[in-house]
Amino acid sequence: MLHSLLVIDDSKLQREHTADLCRALGVVIVHEAASGTEAIERFDSLSPRPELIVVDLEMPGMDGIETIYQFMRQQYIVPLIVASARESALIQAVEGAARNLGFHVLGAIKKPVNSDSLQAAFAQIKQRGHATRVDGRDAVHSEIAAEQLNRAIADQQIHVHYQPKVDMRTGIVRGVEALARWSEPELGPIRPDRFIALAEREGLIYPLTLAVMSQALAQAAEWNARGLRLSMAINLSPGLFADAALVDHVCQMLTLAGLQPSQIVLEITESSVLASLGVGLGALARFRLKGFGLSIDDYGTGFASMQRLARGPFTEIKLDRTFVNGAHRNENLRVILQSALDMGRRLELTTVAEGIETLEDWRLLQNYGCSMGQGYFIARPMPGNEIPQWLKRHQRTLRTLRSDGNGSST
Q: Residues interacting with ligand G, by CB under 6 A?
A: 163, 179-180, 191-193, 196, 209, 212, 235-237, 267, 297-298, 318, 321, 354-357, 374-376, 381
List of residues 6+ apart from 189 with CB closer than 8 A: 181, 182, 183
Least distance between Mn ion and beta carbon 212 (Å) = 12
Does residue 196 contact residue 237 with C-beta atoms inside 8 Å?
yes
Residue 266 partner contact from Mn ion, ligand G, none using kind-dependent CB cut-offs of 5 to 8 Å: none
CB 142, min distance to ligand G, A: 20
Provide φ and ψ at 34, rounded to 5°.
Answer: -90, -5
> Cβ closer to Mn ion: 163 or 330?
163
Nearer to Mn ion (CB atom), residue 366 or residue 374: 374
Please give the Cα distance from 199 to 248 (Å, whole number): 22
Q: C-beta of 250: minimal distance to ligand G in Å?
A: 13
Contact in structure between 213 and 234 (CB atoms under 8 Å): yes
Q: What is the DSSP letter of 381?
A: -
**Residues in Cβ contact with 331 at an 8 Å cutoff, skipping those fewer than 6 apart:** none
- Pick the closer one to ligand G by CB: 111 or 318: 318
Q: How far apart are CA 47 and CA 174, in angstroms?
A: 49
- Which residues lie below 8 Å from residue 84, measured CB to CB, with a gap of 6+? 56, 57, 58, 64, 90, 91, 94, 108, 109, 110, 111
**Shortest spacing between CB 154 and Mn ion, in angstroms:** 25
Per partner kind, with CB cut-offs from 5 to 8 A, the member of ligand G, Mn ion, none near residue 376 is ligand G
CB of residue 388 to Mn ion, shortest distance in Å: 23
The CA-based dihedral angle spanning residues 176, 199, 67, 134, taken in that order and rounded to the nearest 10 degrees: 90
Of the two residues 191 and 229, which places its CB atom closer to ligand G in the complex?
A: 191
Residue at 30: amino acid letter: V
- Which C-beta is closer to ligand G: that of 239 or that of 312? 239
Q: Which is nearer to ligand G, 212 or 401 (CB)?
A: 212
d(CA 300, CA 215): 30
Q: Which residue is nearest to ligand G (CB)?
A: 375
CB atoms within 10 A of CB 98: 23
Q: How far apart are CA 143 and CA 54, in angstroms?
A: 28
| CB of residue 271 to ligand G, shortest distance in Å | 11
Q: How far is the CB of 6 from Mn ion (least distance, A)?
A: 31
Residue of 121, 133, 126, 169 whose CA lies nearest to 51: 133
Task: Please report, as ranges, the residues that interact with Mn ion according to CB under 5 A.
Answer: 235, 267, 297
Measured from the CB atom, the residue of 338 and 358 that comes closer to ligand G is 358
Rounded CA-CA distance 90/96 in Å is 10
